[in-house]
Structure 1
Amino acid sequence: MKIIIAGGSGFIGQKLTELLKEDHEIIILTRKGERSAGKIKYVKWLEEGSLPEKEIGKADAVINLAGVSINDGRWTQHHQKQIYESRMTATEELLRMVEALSEKPSVFINASAIGIYPPSRHTVYTEKSTEVADNFLGHTVYDWESKAARMMEHGIRTVFMRFGVVLGNEGGALPLIALPYRLFMGGTVGSGEQWVSWIHVTDVVRAICFAIENHQISGPVNVTAPNPKVMKDFGRTIGAVLHRPHWFPVPAFLMKVVLGKKSSLVLEGQHVIPKVLMEEGFEFKFTTLESALGDLFQ
């Protein structure tokens, strides 16, 4: 297969490229001047005058991971605008590219997030849940999915991969969450009752491949492990795996002072179940937080 990846140089994109390049031809859309090598070809996009579709010719699958990371920087009004607009711009350009292709891809995989669901301690969300959070992340994800859904107008199977808290050493939230424990200062963040619907980055990229290969999958797909944890248990597990104490509580007001609006990422959460992946027979490599952290911290 020829697979196009937008955002291929990011945290998840790099892991995905490593997995796919063994069996597929990969085209990574980039603003940088990387040199193509082997089965990986870099094509310029989102630059004045760039027409990547002319170099692509045709593609079997398109994966959209592009966008400014929500984990980087403080959520100032300017940064929130960058997060939002980067996703809208990239998706709009992919729509233009696909419209220009004489032969359309069979599947479009669009990154998304469980942040579309409202924070709740009691509600359990599946892909059939229709509630949308009335906050920055909720509005961003809703608009992002709505724009990406226009791919279906071309008869393209479209999947919205709603990522949970992705655990990995090279990016995501884990390095920041684990740092206090490494310094012997770890403890419960906020109330500790907020849900953390986590997933190992290896299972994220495997789930993307699974969605490409299984033609019956379309629409929202929750990309989380089947066993979420509340924050106090999440922290205790980090401490246990790292052989560090879990004793230094971090009050909510302090997180708000340090992180501003971005503190909602750790102070609020959703209890999310990956019902579609489970029903379709996806086999998680890491079903427990202990196994995931054991792999990452070894």
Structure 2
Amino acid sequence: MNIVIAGGTGFVGQHLTEHFTSKGDHVSILTRHPENHEDGENVRYVGWLKEEYAPENQLQNVDAIINLAGASLAGGRWTPERKQLIRQSRIDATNGVLSLIENLDKTPDVLVNGSAVGFYGTSVYKSFTENTEEPGNGFLASVTKDWEATASQAKLKGVRTVYARFGLILGTEGVLPLMKLPYKYFVGGRLGNGEQWMSWVHIDDVVGAIDEAVHNSSIENALNVTAPTPKRNEDFLRTLGEVLERPHWCHVPAVVISKTLGEMSTLVLNGQAVYPQKLKSHDYQFHYSDVHGALHSILKK
């Protein structure tokens, strides 16, 4: 297959590139700075989102596009300027993908567009599946709603479209290294009251779910990319301490986190219990459905 990845130089994109190229697929990574990268076996870097670039001229017979591009949610305090960047970077990149689809000589079969479980808003007592159609409240729900609405325009071009709603992705990069840091110094423990849900997923299952979305023509619209066993913050972090063989005893009050992070504190103080109903209905076999096994596979290599 010929697969195009926007945001392919990031954490998830790198794992996807390795996965697809190991199967003999050809991957083209869209980037604003192709000059900073060297092409490899079955991998090449294609410039886009600048006037001087016309990526459609370098891409032929594209089968699938995976769009992961967007500014990091954890890249700094959510000032009005940062929030605008988070939103606009996702909309601009998705519009760039739509423009690319319009100009390709062959319409791709599928667009897998990034999204997040933040679509559902936050709740301590509710659970969510893809059958939950209405977005929740708050900044993240608003961003993901607009992101998915923009991507949905690909359907008008005859492209099967999937919104990959990612949970908390566990791997050697991303948020896990930050989460384990307090345990390194023997001050690990729950955040806030510890009741908030953490809908986690191992990076191997992120790759597996996207691969399933690319190849399974019956999958479209929302797709929850989460493990089937969300955990409350207290339980998740206690398990992290067990795997690291460090005590789990310290409590960081919510007020301290809120004052330190501002509105961005919602990423750690609030959550949602999200279940991958669609993946399970398609008999997807999870590599890691148990959080202890998932953390052990990453931290004990």
**1:19 equivalent in structure 2:** 19
Q: Deviations over 1:147-196 (max 9, x none)?
A: 0000000111100000001111122x211211111110011101111100
What CA distance in whole angstroms lies between the structure 1 residues aligned with 2:109 and 2:299?
A: 38
1:31 maps to 2:25: no
> Which secondary structure does the structure 2 equivalent of 1:112 belong to?
strand
1:187 maps to 2:189: yes
What CA distance in whole angstroms lies between the structure 2 residues aligned with 1:219 and 1:186?
A: 39
Q: Shift of residue 118 of structure 1?
A: 1.7
- Residue correspondence of structure 1 range 158-177 to structure 2 within 5 A: 158-171=161-174, 173-177=175-179
Q: Deviations over 1:253-293 (max 9, x none)?
A: 00111111111011000010000001101111011000000
Give the root-mean-square deviation of aligned CA atoms.
0.9
What CA distance in whole angstroms lies between the structure 1 residues aligned with 2:134 and 2:185?
A: 39
**2:127 equivalent in structure 1:** 124
**1:145 equivalent in structure 2:** 148
In structure 1, give the amino acid aligned to 2:43. Answer: I
In structure 1, give the amino acid aligned to 2:109. Answer: S
Q: Shift of residue 140 of structure 1?
A: 0.4
What CA distance in whole angstroms lies between the structure 1 residues aligned with 2:81 and 2:171?
A: 27
TM superposition outliers: structure 1 runs of 4+ over 3 Å: none
What CA distance in whole angstroms lies between the structure 1 residues aligned with 2:161 and 2:9?
A: 22
Please, which of 209, 217, 220 is the counterpart of residue 218 of structure 1? 220
What CA distance in whole angstroms lies between the structure 1 residues aligned with 2:252 and 2:136?
A: 25
When structure 1 is superposed on structure 2, of 29-38 and 119-128 the one drifting more is: 29-38
Q: Shift of residue 141 of structure 1?
A: 0.2
- Residue correspondence of structure 1 range 255-294 to structure 2 within 5 A: 255-294=257-296
In the superposition, the TM-score normalised over structure 1's length comes to: 0.98
Q: Percent sequence identity over matched residues?
A: 44
User: Structure 1 regions of 5+ residues with no counterpart?
Assistant: none
User: Structure 2 regions of 5+ residues with no counterpart?
Assistant: none
Q: Shift of residue 72 of structure 1?
A: 2.0
When structure 1 is superposed on structure 2, of 228-237 and 31-40 the one drifting more is: 31-40
In structure 2, give the amino acid aligned to 1:75. Answer: W
What CA distance in whole angstroms lies between the structure 1 residues aligned with 2:69 and 2:184?
A: 31
In structure 2, give the amino acid aligned to 1:216. Answer: S
Please, which of 154, 157, 165 is the counterpart of residue 154 of structure 1? 157
1:236 maps to 2:243: no
**1:85 equivalent in structure 2:** 88
Q: Shift of residue 49 of structure 1?
A: 2.2
**1:4 equivalent in structure 2:** 4
In the superposition, the TM-score normalised over structure 2's length comes to: 0.97
- Residue correspondence of structure 1 range 62-141 to structure 2 within 5 A: 62-141=65-144
8 Å contact from structure 2 (residues 205, 287) kept in 1: yes
8 Å contact from structure 2 (residues 167, 225) kept in 1: yes
Give the total of aligned pairs: 297
> Which secondary structure does the structure 2 equivalent of 1:47 belong to?
coil
